Amino acid sequence: MANVQQATVADDVGQVDVDELEHAAAKRTHRPWERVLFYWLCAGFTGFHLLILTGPVVLRSFDDWFGTGLYRLFPLNIDQELFRAIHLAWGATLGFGFFAIAKSRGTQGVPWYDWLLILAAIGAAVYMWHNLVDLQMNQGAIYETPDLVYSLVGLVVVFEFSRRTAGNALTIIAAVFLLYAVVGHWLPGPLYHDKSLKDLWFAFPYIYSNLGVFGPTLEVSSTFIIMFTAFAAFLTRSKAGEYFNDLSVALVGWARGGPAKVAVLSGVMFGSISGSSVANVVASGSVTIPMMRRVGYDRATAGAIEATSSTGGQITPPVLGAAAFLMAEATGIQYAEIALAAVIPCFLFYVACYMHVDLNAVKAGLRGLPRSELPRLVPMAARLYMLAPIAVLVWAFTAGYSAFLAAGLGMLACVAVSWFNGLDRDPDGRWRWRYSDGVMGPRGIIDALELGARDSMQLVAVCAAAGIVVGVIALTGIGGRFAYIMQAIAGDSQLLAMLFTMVVVTILGMGMPTTAAYAIAAAVVAPGLVQIGVPKLVAHMFIFYYAVLSAITPPVAVASIAAAGMAKADAWKTSWIAVKLGLATFIVPLMFFYSPTLLGQGEWLEILPPLITATIGVCLLACATEGWLVGPMPLPVRVVLFVGAVCLIAPEPITDGIGLVIALGVWGYQAMARRRAVGQG
């Protein structure tokens, strides 16, 4: 009977197309020969990057160990600007091949005009290769007529590639910046720039160079992002993602509201290796949402819990979201330090999520799943080797290896652990090995390479379009004038500037992916924050967190929409519940602005006290928003407790003392009210 009930609930969960939510255009159906062609183009795209980024290190190591001389024969050296041009042209080829011109035009096969766009993308890269020395020598100085044509073709490719994969918002913003570069010398006041760009032979080639499109954003896309996207694809293909979900079910599925706690735990484990909140929702929600529905969670709450926990995956070390790699490039801070700084905010986020789902379960009287229906923990513990790729990645970071080599070693670990998936016991109890779907042979490795390319297409477009914004800022100096405007608005108040930034980033995030929202805000807003005295890491982390939270912020809230679709719930209601569940994370960035100790800045003796009080604070914040401490709380008491919770999250001794007094007072009041209610009963 239980199995029948479980199947019924599972059937009641809707299907969500990740491409439909994450990309602006419709994914087309290929003809048979196109399917084969683009499969190998995807695999080749990822393989090419692996070869260029890790090949030289591997060959030099072979030379050192065995004296083979392979590196002298195959140095694998390529000019960095040309490498990025190939990266963009190849990514655009895939984008035009997979996505139609509009959602309503999902045609069968690639039409002639998209083949022309593909040829234009390839042609621009070939032109750069043929004229590389001249383009680099003339950079920022003099360009010829063919250079203008080349740059115009390249910019058209970038705009259309961005529009199809990342949506209209980013494309329009990049177009506005490009227009400003041309007409800014006609504008009054602080928008005026003296770089008269009436000579288009100078304007467009300047922006379509390593001073703009091929600058730091595309550098990150062609290195860090593609490597770690491929690493996530290898984890998925090796069945590690499934193991993370199963382990979460085994660990907490039995607790009250257990399936919701499984969603939180799987958000930590699976989300830490995926940069897409929507992909996280679809991957883990297919398991957790049916289970939550089965134990009694309503549709909107089940969807909101999955959306919030999946969004948190983008702020979970060691991988974080793709925007974190842009942060490392923009700030000059090592990625390992950024990942370490994210540990405490990530911990506070998931503590708050866990408290919310636990309080939901208490209020509704929800139980967990029967232990008899859960995966057995002992066999799951025997498969802890599935965590080896994550362990290898962390070890490589801490040992000082480059991020590229760390990701490459993680991929090798994925292949290695997948071979243990072939082990099984026969009826006589003897171990045997047989090839299965979870084992990564040659075809499994190629599948992972292909998946990595598919998952990185949008990020390539985002970084190229963001490069236009960066180029215009560098050319016109508008970034410095924006900092002046921010100072004029905020005066000497850093808090007012941070609140202004929060609003700007949230609005940007509503219309574009997290990576794009961060890239533009980091280029436009972050310099102003640094100029008024905000530490660089704090400014960029602040922007990063609000860019991430846009995935659950109405009205767009793509993660909430995806989860609502799976739960067959109202998207608007699901989004607002998700905001409530993630409320702590909306507050925590303001707290680490006041005290960088919450970013791990300082000695442990300095970090530990604010960490403890902030943990208590986010737990009480969940109690205040859910309206339950010892028992149900009336609205005035909830407001008082909310104030106390915020005081505890703020890392200052005075506010901590006030928060503790308020918390103890509310707890005592609630305890007495509960005893009176029991006595009267």
* DSSP 8-state symbol, 424: E
- Is the pLDDT score of 275 beyond 60? no
C-alpha dihedral sign at 279, 380, 396, 52: negative
Fill in the amino acid letter for 252: V
Residue 429 is predicted with a pLDDT of 66
- Is the pLDDT score of 333 beyond 70? yes
Residue 590 structure tokens: 């303001």
- Spatial neighbors of 158 by CB under 8 A, at least 6 apart, are 88, 92, 174, 213, 461, 464, 465, 467, 468
Angle in degrees, CA 282, 283, 289, rounded to 5 = 65
Residue found under tokens 């001073």: 211
* DSSP 8-state symbol, 602: S
- Is the pLDDT score of 75 beyond 70? no
d(CA 177, CA 184): 10
d(CA 317, CA 340): 7
- Spatial neighbors of 52 by CB under 8 A, at least 6 apart, are 76, 78, 83
- Spatial neighbors of 65 by CB under 8 A, at least 6 apart, are none
d(CA 297, CA 308): 15
Residue 277 structure tokens: 């909140």
C-alpha dihedral (108, 110, 113, 115), degrees to nearest 10:
-170
**Could you read off the pLDDT of 291-311 as tens digits, one per residue?**
888 888 888 888 889 888 888
What is the number of other CB atoms lying within 10 angstroms of the CB of residue 85? 26
Residue 89 is predicted with a pLDDT of 97
- Is the pLDDT score of 197 beyond 60? no
- Is the pLDDT score of 340 beyond 90? no
Residues in the chain: 681
d(CA 90, CA 509): 27
Residue 155 is predicted with a pLDDT of 95
Residue 8 is predicted with a pLDDT of 41
Mean pLDDT check: name the lowest of 116-120, 228-232, 346-350, 528-532: 528-532
Which residues, listed in sequence order, are joined to residue 433 by a DSSP beta bridge?
423
* DSSP 8-state symbol, 423: E
What is the number of other CB atoms lying within 10 angstroms of the CB of residue 320? 26
Cβ distance 114 to 96 under 8 Å? yes
Confidence of residue 5 (pLDDT cuts 50, 70, 90): very low
Residue 458 is predicted with a pLDDT of 87
Task: Identify whether 610 is preceded by a cis peptide bond (ω within 30 of 0).
Answer: no
Mean pLDDT, all residues of the chain: 82
- Is the pLDDT score of 570 beyond 70? yes
d(CA 163, CA 159): 6
**Could you read off the pLDDT of 30-44 as tens digits, one per residue?**
899 999 999 999 999
Mean pLDDT, rounded, for 84-110: 87
- Is the pLDDT score of 7 beyond 50? no
Indicate the pTM of the whole model: 0.81
Domain boundaries, the chain: 607-681
